[in-house]
A and B are shown apart, each in its own frame.
Chain A
Amino acid sequence: MTPALELKGLRKSFGKAEIIRGIDLSIGKAERHAVIGPNGAGKSTLFNLITARFPPTEGTVKLHGQDLTGMQPFQINRLGLSRSFQITNIFPKMTVFENVRCALLWSQGYKYSFWHMVNRKRDLTEGAEAILEQINLTERRNLPAGVLSYAEQRALEIGITIAGGADVVMLDEPTAGMSNSETDYITDLILKVTEGKTLIMVEHDMGVVFGLADRISVLVYGEIIATGKPEDVRADPRVQEAYLGAALEAEH
Chain B
Amino acid sequence: MSQIEQAKNEPKGARPKEQITTDPSDAAQRMRAGSMIIPVTPWVIAAVLLVLMPFIFTDNSAITIMNQMSITIIFALAYNMLLGQGGMLSFGHAVYAGVGGFFCMHVMNWSDFFAGLPLPLLPLFGGLAGMSLALVVGSFSTRSAGTVFAMISLGIGELIAACSVIIVAFFGGEEGVSGNRTYAQPFFGVEFLQQIDVYYLIAFWLILSALLMYLFSRTPVGRMANAVRDNPERAEFLGYSARWVRYYSFVASGFFAGIAGGLFAINYEILTEENLNTASSGVILLVTFLGGVGFFFGPIIGAIAFTLLQTVLSLQTELWAFYAGVLFVATVMFFPGGLAGLLMMHVPVFRLGKARLLIIPYLKTLLPAAIGLLGLAGLVELVFHYRHAATGDNEMTVFWTTFDSHNILPWVVLIAIAGIGLGIAKKTAPSLLEAWNEATTPDGGTR
- Give me the interface of A with B, judged by CB distance under 8 Å: 51, 72-74, 77-78, 82-83, 85, 89-95, 97-98, 101-103, 105-107, 110-120, 125, 141-144, 146-147, 160-161, 164
Which one of B33, B233, B237 lies within 8 Å of A97 (CB-CB)? B33
B:223-258 near A, CB below 8 Å: 223-224, 226-227, 230-231, 233-242, 244-245, 248, 252
Find chain A residues with CB under 8 A from B220 CB: 105, 110-114, 116, 118
Chain A residues near B223 (CB-CB < 8 A)? 98, 101-102, 105, 118
Determine the residue in chain B with the shortest Cβ distance to A107. Answer: B239
Partner of A117, one of B29, B219, B238, B245: B219
Q: 10 shortest A-B CB distances, which residue pairs?
A: A106-B239, A144-B24, A110-B220, A73-B236, A95-B33, A77-B239, A114-B219, A93-B24, A74-B236, A74-B241
Chain A residues within an 8 Å CB radius of B219 = 113-118
Question: Which chain A positions have C-beta within 8 A of B234?
Answer: 85, 89-91, 160
Q: Give complex CA distance A116, B227 in Å.
A: 17
Cβ contacts under 8 Å, A91 to chain B = 226-227, 230-231, 234
Closest to A82 in B: B237
CA–CA, A102 and B222, complex, Å: 11
Main secondary structure of the interface of B (DSSP, over half): helix
Which one of B33, B34, B239, B242 has the greatest number of beta carbons of chain A within 10 Å?
A: B239
- A84, chain B: closest CB distance, angstroms: 9
| CA distance in complex: A112, B34 (Å) | 20
Judge whether A103 and B24 touch: CB under 8 Å. no
* Chain B residues packing against A (C-beta within 8 Å): 16, 18, 21, 24-25, 29-30, 33-38, 215-216, 218-224, 226-227, 230-231, 233-242, 244-245, 248, 252
Chain B residues within an 8 Å CB radius of A82: 237
Task: Name the B residues within 8 Å of A73 (CB-CB).
Answer: 233, 236-237
Contacts of B38 in A (CB 8 A): 117, 119
* From A85, A105, A114, contact of B238 by CB (8 A): A105
Q: List 25 A-B contacts (CB under 8 A).
A: A73-B237, A74-B237, A74-B238, A74-B242, A77-B237, A83-B237, A89-B233, A91-B226, A92-B16, A92-B231, A93-B226, A94-B227, A95-B34, A105-B220, A105-B223, A111-B220, A112-B244, A114-B216, A114-B248, A117-B215, A117-B219, A119-B34, A142-B30, A144-B30, A160-B234
B19 to nearest A CB, angstroms?
10
Q: How far does the Cβ of A51 sit from chain B's closest Cβ, in whole Å? A: 7
The minimal Cβ–Cβ distance linking B221 to chain A, given in whole angstroms, is 5
Docked-complex contact A93 and B239, CB < 8 angstroms = no
Partner of A164, one of B226, B230, B239, B244: B239
Residues of A contacting B244 in the complex (Cβ-Cβ under 8 angstroms): 112
Once the chains bind, are A147 and B25 in contact (CB under 8 Å)? yes
Nearest B-chain residue to A113, judged by Cβ: B220
Give the residues in chain B near A113, CB-CB below 8 Å.
219-221
A residues near B226, Cβ cutoff 8 Å: 91, 93-94
Q: Which residues of the other chain, B, contact A117 by a CB distance below 8 angstroms?
A: 38, 215, 218-219
On whether A72 and B222 interact (CB within 8 A), knowing A89-B231, A102-B227, the answer reads no
In the bound complex, how far is the Cα of B238 from the Cα of A72, in angstroms?
12
Q: Are B16 and A112 in contact (CB under 8 A)?
A: no
Task: Beyond the given A90-B234, A91-B227, A160-B234, please list 18 additional residue pairs across the A-B interface where CB-CB is below 8 A.
Answer: A73-B236, A73-B237, A74-B236, A74-B237, A74-B242, A94-B24, A94-B33, A95-B33, A98-B223, A102-B223, A102-B235, A102-B238, A103-B238, A106-B240, A117-B218, A119-B36, A120-B36, A144-B24
Give the complex CA separation of A119 and B38 in angstroms: 8
Interface contact A119-B238, CB-CB below 8 Å: no
Could you tell me if B237 and A51 are in contact, using CB atoms closer than 8 angstroms?
yes
**Nearest Cβ distance between residue B71 and chain A, in whole angstroms?**
24
Shortest distance from the beta carbon of A101 to any chain B beta carbon, whole Å: 7
